[in-house]
Structure formats: C-alpha cells, structure tokens
Amino acid sequence: MEHTPESSTVADDPQARDLLRRAFEKTARWPKDFTGFTADLTVNVNGKETRGPVIVKGPREVSVQLDNGEIQKWAQEQLSMIAVHRGPRSFEESDGKYSLTMEEDGHPFGTKLNIHGSHSFYRIKDNRITQINRKMAHPGMNPFAFTINVEESAITQDQKNLTTKYTVYYYSPTDGKLTNVESFTDTHVRVGASDLPATRRIITYEDGQVVVKNLTFTNHTLL
C-alpha cells in the first residue's frame, strides 16, 4: 500500500536510520535487472475455481485474465501488492526518505521505529521488520488504519528474509474499532535469481462468513 509523504520537522536519529536500513537490506526483493514473469494462475474461493494466465512486469504493470471479472480484479490487486513489496528499490526511495526515530519500550516484537511524515511506525527485531502500523487517508475514500504482524519468514538462497505468514488487522483511525482481519500464508518458488509467488492463501471475513481464498501459480517464466 503506497502512501504520500508529508513534511516533517523531526530531527533524524542516525541509529534509527541504521536500524531500519539493516532490516531493509535483509529483506528479499527481486533483482535490480528484474523485468517480470508470466505464470498460470488458479484462484479458489471457498471451493470455486477459476484459471487463467498472468503477466507481472511491475506494480503498475500486472495483467490477469480470468473468466470472473470480480475475482480477476481482486487477483490483480494481490499481484500488484506482491510486486510493490518484492520489487527492486533502494532504501532512499523507500522509508529512507523520511525522518526516523526509535523507542525501546520492551515490546515482544522489538524496537519501535517511528517514520515521521508517513503516519507510520514499525517494529524491528533481529534485523527484521516484525510489525507495520499505518494510517491511510486518500481523497474520495474513508480513512482507515491497519497493523500487520509478521509471524513467520523464510531465509532465501541470498540469505534474505522473505515473509511467509502475516496477519493484517484493519481498524478505524477515528474510534479504533476493528473492521476486519486477514491472515496471509505465502509460499515461493526460485526461478533464476528471483523468488516468485507460488501460492497465497488468505483467510478473511466477508458478508457474514469466513472466506478462504487461494492463489496458485504454476509454469513460471521470467521475461
């Protein structure tokens, strides 16, 4: 989820910057020369399956062809989100452009890392981002907030952290009321020098019921 930076007058803490930079550099991303991939996608929503091809070149260049238009749009959003998080970028292009400070408060998820001007703070432990907290407000939409708890991650061939399980708690930034919870479980497949999505399972709550959505990618080919 991308967000627009706001100006901040808070003095930057070099120790906080070093802490976040180390976590950033230990996070798995596609190589700098990554140009995309194609794959066959199967989507299963509570037992109903639909299949089709996908092409991913970047966060804004994702093509999904499925028979069901609503599921196609949702799958495209999921792939765009994966491309945002896995796409190659520098620390300075990411959270490094903000003023950073930190607090040691004894939290089980580690040090609190404040990202001033972005309505965000992280928690970092053992050179890994363990929690993301963010408030979002865009013109024409209701403001919302979320907390992501990173529960499990794998170590890639490049000795980078690749998140495999996390839970997102969505809530109102005005009254703090919980609006939804989504549980994500991901697996990956190594193709060339890239760890590409193999499966993604999302458990959520929609229209009065718990919904399980599976994305399965096969026949990956690098572009």
- 91: DSSP letter: T
- Three-state DSSP at 158 gives coil
* pLDDT in the model for residue 16: 96
8 Å CB contact between 185 and 168: no
Per the listing, tokens 């969505």 go with: 170
d(CA 200, CA 158): 22
Per the listing, tokens 């003095």 go with: 11
How many CB atoms lie under 10 A from the CB of residue 14? 8
Q: What is the pLDDT of residues 85-115, one digit of tens each?
A: 999 999 998 999 999 999 999 999 999 999 9
- pTM: predicted TM-score of the whole model, two decimal places: 0.90
Q: Where are the alpha helices (DSSP H) in the chain?
A: 14-25, 69-86
* pLDDT in the model for residue 5: 47
Q: What is the pLDDT of residues 57-83, one digit of tens each?
A: 988 899 999 999 999 999 999 999 999
* pLDDT in the model for residue 139: 76
8 Å CB contact between 68 and 51: no
**Of 116, 176, 125, 117, the residue nearest 146 (C-alpha):** 176
Say what percent of the chain tops pLDDT 90: 85
Q: What is the pLDDT of residues 153-208, one digit of tens each?
A: 999 999 999 999 999 999 999 899 999 999 999 999 999 999 999 999 999 999 89
